[in-house]
Amino acid sequence: MDRLKRIGKSKWFWIIVIIIAILSVTIAYHTSWKALPEGISYEGEKHKMENIEFFRDLTYENEAGKTVHDLQVFKEINQTISEAEDFIVADMFLFNGYTNGKNEFPQISSNLVDAILKRKEEVPDLKVVFITDQINTIYGSYESETIKRLEDGGVDVVLTNLNKLRDSNPLYSSVWRLLFSWMGTGDNGWISNPMAKEAPDVTLRSYMKLLNIKANHRKILVTEKSAIVSTANPHDASGYHENVAFKMTGPIIKDILEAEEAVVNYSGEADFPEYENRNWEAQEGPLTTQFVTEGKIYRAILDELSAAGEGDTVWLGMYYLADKKIMSSLDDAANRGATVNIVMDPNKKAFGHEKTGIPNLPVAAELQRLGNENIHLRWYDVNIEQYHTKMLYIDHPEEDVIIAGSANYTRRNLSNLNLEADVVIKGNGEEQVFTDVNDYFTRIWNNEDGHYTADYKEYQDNLTFIRYATYYLQKWTWFTTY
């Protein structure tokens, strides 16, 4: 008792208590209490649609043993840009041409800039707004070549204000906000760029901001004629990744513009195209489509999985799978009789660096230990690329469902932390978009006309005790990069 009294009288004890209290309040506010910027976590109207086009990028080994890069997404994005007459609005996460210097990659970023600037020359009154993430300058460490080219060509570039978003790395971010955020980020870097060997060096202050792991992670292109929601970044080093995209027309364009204008409104200034009084002709087609962002994506996923059961097939193609509720929902669907087929990236490559397989290796092990005979796992057998797809497809006897876009199935991507954008598509399974997606999954699952996926056991031996322990420590502290 006397010892407790002495501790209670110690000034250092109370200093520590005050520091912990301040950090706790900071964590609580910036993780849960802080209001989201207006227009974030958006749920658009449900629209009828006649047709939706599906595009995919695949890297695989053909039957002759040759690596094939079958790339469709940015060909269609650039084609869509070339047809714009009134405006282009793009919101894309990684946007640069820097690589590790070891491999040759397609020049996606410069080709995208070329396509935009060419169309702006052809249509001088064309309004172009390009929204992207501060990671492309490592938070002000250097000037982005691709961004500068756009700005010099008359494009309004908006760097998303990440400080207004909630914190996904609360233990670190609380200390950073209190002690270091006021320092800014500066320029004249001297630390090797964590994103690419060829990229300019970064400052320590920029690196410290990077460790907050916050992002505008969306991948969207919109013109007055159509909208594309995809999983692909205009990032050269990501050029051979497996990705998917969906192209739509009609009133859903207005919903996407409304959600994108919200990002511009709290991040900067731009001559955003007028759309409120513009009428896109309503369609009476067999498909129902809805645009959703951030936490509304999470709700849509859980709702659709809760409806899956006997006679249904659930297909999931995912770069990061780590959310407990979704994992439980997949297990519940399988328990109700649904066949659940999951294709995952083995998480062994990122920005030219070797990765540890976290989170997908331990997550796959957890799913396997459930012993559910209706859950089947395969790895996309990657080389220098990533299986970067984020797509759920539920094949019901009467109405199929697709949910796809930028969101990985993790806390950071689904809990109103990152900015994300997905599309929900429903309709009869005989419609073209569903047959295309079904063919996509069965092709890579069964290795039709080439080698795409490997059995669960092919990668699972890489899961060591240290990696498993690291996964749980990261989950417990929320100090993750996924």
CA distance 30 to 165: 8
Residues 6 or more apart in contact with residue 149 via CB below 8 angstroms? 113, 117
Q: Would 22 be classed as within a structural domain?
A: no
Regarding whether 405 and 361 lie in a shared domain, the answer is yes
Residue 166 falls inside a structural domain: yes
Amino acid 255: pLDDT: 98
Q: Does 41 reside within a domain? A: no
- So what's the pLDDT on residue 324? 94
How far is residue 62's CA from residue 78's CA, in Å, rounded to a whole number? Answer: 27
- Spell out the alpha helix ranges (H) of 351-431: 360-369, 411-414
Alpha-carbon distance 14 to 9, whole Å? 8
- Is 328 found in the same domain as 222? no
Asked if 88 and 237 sit in the same domain, the reply is: yes
Structural domain including 192 reads 47-267
**Cα angle value 74/75/77 (rounded, 5°):** 55
In a domain, 272, yes or no: no
User: Looking at the structure, do residues 383 and 467 belong to the same domain, yes or no?
Assistant: yes
Do 261 and 301 lie in a common domain? no
Give the burial class of 234: count Cβ atoms within 10 A of its Cβ; 0-12 exposed, 13-18 middle, 19 or more buried: buried
Residue 38 lies in a domain: no
Unique residue bearing structure tokens 């060997």: 197
| Contacts of 22 by beta carbon, 8 Å cutoff, 6+ apart | 178
> Does residue 74 sit in the same domain as residue 139?
yes
Number of structural domains the chain divides into: 2
Name residue, tokens 């059961």. Answer: 309
Characterize 21-51 residue by residue with b for buried, 16 or more Cβ atoms within 10 angstroms of its Cβ, and e for exposed: eebeebbeebbeeeebbebbbbbbeebebee
Take residue 282 and report the two structure tokens written for it: 């309503």
Instruction: Answer yes or no: do 131 and 243 share one domain.
Output: yes
| Structure token pair of residue 460 | 């699972």
Q: List, run by run, the mean pLDDT of 10-residue segments along the chain (482 residues).
A: 58 74 85 92 96 97 93 98 98 92 89 98 97 94 94 97 93 90 81 84 91 96 98 96 98 97 95 92 94 98 97 97 96 97 90 78 92 96 95 95 98 96 97 98 97 91 78 84 86
Alpha-carbon distance 129 to 116, whole Å?
10
Can you tell me which residue has the tokens 């670190």? 172
Question: CA 458, CA 472: separation in Å to the nearest integer?
Answer: 23
Angle at 393 between CA 388 and CA 396, to 5 degrees: 170
Q: Are residues 314 and 204 in the same domain?
A: no
Q: How far apart are CA 169 and CA 479, in angstroms?
A: 5
CA-CA distance, 139 to 210, in Å (whole number)? Answer: 7
- CB atoms under 10 Å from CB of 190, counted, come to 9
Q: Are 439 and 292 found together in one domain?
A: yes
Instruction: Report whether 449 contacts 456 (CB < 8 A).
Output: no
H or E element that contains 477: helix 465-477
Strand partners, 291: 423
Residue 297: per-residue pLDDT: 98
Among 347, 320, 349, which Cα is nearest to 408's? 320
d(CA 189, CA 201): 5
The answer to whether residue 222 is domain-embedded is yes
Are 179 and 217 contained in the same domain? yes
CATH code: domain of residue 241: 3.30.870.10
**Which of 217, 235, 267 is where one domain is finished?**
267
Residue 82 domain-assigned (yes or no): yes
Q: In whole angstroms, what separates CA 167 from the centre of its chain?
A: 17
Residues 6+ apart with CB under 8 A from 17: none
Residue found by looking up tokens 């999931």 in the block: 316
In a domain, 42, yes or no: no
Q: Do residues 231 and 293 both lie within one domain? A: no
Q: Which residue has the tokens 């900015």?
A: 419
In 250-302 the beta strands, taken as DSSP E runs, fall at 287-293
Helical spans, DSSP H, in 293-431: 295-306, 324-335, 360-369, 411-414
DSSP class of residue 250 equals S
Neighbours of 128 (CB within 10 A): 25
**Helix pair 2-9, 11-28: axis angle to 10 deg:** 70
- Distance of CA 301 to CAs 53, 314, 316, 403, Å? 21, 12, 11, 7
Judgement on whether residues 228 and 346 belong to the same structural domain of the protein:
no
Sheet of 287-293: strand order equals 47-49, 287-293, 421-427, 400-405, 390-395, 313-318, 339-344, 375-380, 453-455
Let me know: does 320 contact 358? Beta carbons within 8 Å: no
Residues 6 or more apart in contact with residue 296 via CB below 8 angstroms? 41, 42, 43
For residue 272, the 8-state DSSP code is P
Query: What single letter denotes the amino acid at residue 319?
Result: Y
